[in-house]
Amino acid sequence: MRVVVTRIEWDGTMRRRLVDPAGRSDASQWEGLVARALAIRPLYRLVPEGPLYHVQVNEWAVLVAEDDLSGPLSDLVTAVLAMGETRLWPGAGTGRHWRRWPKKDKLGG
């Protein structure tokens, strides 16, 4: 299970963090928090100039305005943003890069 939280400000500024409980000593606590957060799915309602959150747990995702963030979902968002990693995919930050585009001369141009 991977939990990814993205905070999106009104000006487009984003902050994203990831928690993968697998192999962590506190995995059962994370799994319990995630289960409680997924129990209620809030409706998205636009709040002008306020931050919103995109919360994704595996294939489940929800978009929620900060004003509507409460209960276990708020606890999950707070915990992930405070303790999560910035590395969002395997190999990120390890020096391995995705395949690069071929140089222009190899494309026949």
Q: What are phi and psi of 86, to 5 degrees?
A: -90, -15
Confidence of residue 96 (pLDDT cuts 50, 70, 90): very low
For residue 57, what are its two tokens? 């747990």
- Give the pLDDT of residue 94: 46
pLDDT higher than 80, residue 108: no
- Give the pLDDT of residue 99: 43
CB 1 within 8 A of CB 20: yes
> pLDDT (tens digit, 9 = 90+) per residue, 3-43?
999 999 989 999 999 999 998 999 999 999 999 999 988 88
> pLDDT (tens digit, 9 = 90+) per residue, 37-63?
999 888 888 888 889 999 999 988 999
Burial 1-27 (b: 16+ CB within 10 A, else e): eebbbbbbeeeeeeebbbbebeeeeee
